[in-house]
Amino acid sequence: MLVKGTLDDLGIKISDQNLVALHANDDEKESGFSPCFYFGEEEEDWTKKSHIPYQNIIWCEPVTNDSHLKVVQVTYLYSHRRDEKVKPLKLQVEIDSPMGLETTGELTNEILSKAYTNKLIKPSLLILINPFGGQGHALRIYHQEIEPILKASNAKVTLFETQYSGHAIDIARELLIEDYDVIVCCSGDGIPYEVINGFYQRKDYGIDAFNKVAITQLPCGSGNALSLSTHGTTNASLATFKMLKAERAKLDLMAVTQGIGSEEKTILSFLSQCYGIIADSDIGTEHLRWMGSVRFEIGVIQRIMQGSKYPCDLYIDYQTRTKDEISKHFQKFTKVNNKDTEPTNIENFKLKYPKLDQPPPSNWIKLEESKSDQLNIVYVGKMPYISSDTQFFPAALPNDGNMDLIMTDSNTSLLDTTKFLLNIDKGSHVLHEKVDHFKIRGYRLVPRLKRTRNHYISIDGENFPIEPFQVEVLPGIMTGLLQNGMFVDTCFTDLDDSI
């Protein structure tokens, strides 16, 4: 069906037509068809208007070869309220175009430029799918929810299925980076970790790769922290739409070093490092993965009830010492332009702290033993979300040169511990007086466990040996995709004035 429309500042206004009446069939009427959804600063009820926002448009092309016939086919997204999935829809529109747009080609380019303010039109995407991710559902999620939107947007797609653990490292290390704009990890958090470290294993530490190719995630696994923190959803179709509209931005990574001399090894971490109850409850219950997230919760409760302690020596390079300072730091950062895409250089990759066989810097502060002997959680992160119901680092920022350190100890009462755990989903656990929360630039942790069997260090969800390790921030070395240059909103966005 051909309809008439005009361009305005926000999109295409359809003349004398109702989009619901145009497109909704009986099934869609039953499901609650929503022809236009809008992710702007001021949401309005677009379903009551015959209006297609530019933000929802993912493709536009001429219908005929007649350059003076202003008829275009617009592909935009709508949602089914029944299942909340986002799906593409096509509509032919005869545009009463404004002055200056004399041909259909000019009109098409105008619409696409306003639809893609990030200038990533028809991006070249390398899709990496872990077929075993999401309890084996990753391929189904990709083909049913992600692929239709990518095809409708005319993205250039190359698809790889990973075949073994570490396969994405090999792919990223040998990748012809000139061929791609974005690596899209259709997986849990394991594939982004591998891609990042595959880049780091390139001859130039991945400098050219990190500058040229953005790394992102679409939620197809059991852990989707990168997608949650940057796209704000575990809905694969909605995350795909947000990815297409997101802007390139620089993200900090963390360099984690273990070993001495010839045994020294440094890897890159994008998400977190963990020592204590949370690491043991995650890595230590891998054999119960079939149980879903409840396996982790059972592990945490069991260890808390047992009064588990994880003594260590902990040396910290503090950026903040109080929660009020964290609030001020967060407010300051969110008021500046974080869309910096200045190219990374070799200086950004240089480790600046002493090696593990040398003392830590003199300005680092050692946590007092009365505290470090009783620790049960040491958790350091760079992204706000760890899972869909775990907003563990609500003050995390994409490129402020800092990590968030959260600690608790076994002296905390069971009642206080329960209050803390019940607020993790909202992120307000960091406000609890028994929870230590700091912004830090680096740290060194030396475990002092009497027995290491059945204990773990978790780095981005991967198992690492119970050995001393040191972490520092590598500022802005990774190119990612963000909404308006920031991580998604957390409770800290609303609470920062009251912390």
Annotated catalytic residue: which of 8, 26, 66, 189?
189
Angle in degrees, CA 70, 72, 78, rounded to 5:
145
Active site residue 189: yes
CB burial string 273-305: b at 16+ within 10 A, e below: bbbbbbbbbbbbbeeeeeeeeebbeebbeebbe
| DSSP structural state of residue 205 | T
In angstroms, the CA 403 to CA 440 distance is 5
Beta strands at 182-187 and 214-219: parallel, antiparallel or unpaired = parallel
Handedness of CA 346, 385, 437, 369 (dihedral sign): negative
Asked if residue 240 lies in contact with residue 149, where contact means CB atoms within 8 angstroms, the answer is yes
Q: How far apart are CA 478 and CA 395, in angstroms?
A: 20
List phi, psi (to 5°) of 413: -65, 160
Question: What sign results for the dihedral spanned by CA atoms 223, 227, 228, 233?
Answer: negative
Pick the closest to residue 465 from 282, 259, 254 (CA basis): 259
Q: How many CB atoms lie within 10 A of CB 485?
A: 18
Residues belonging to the active site: 189
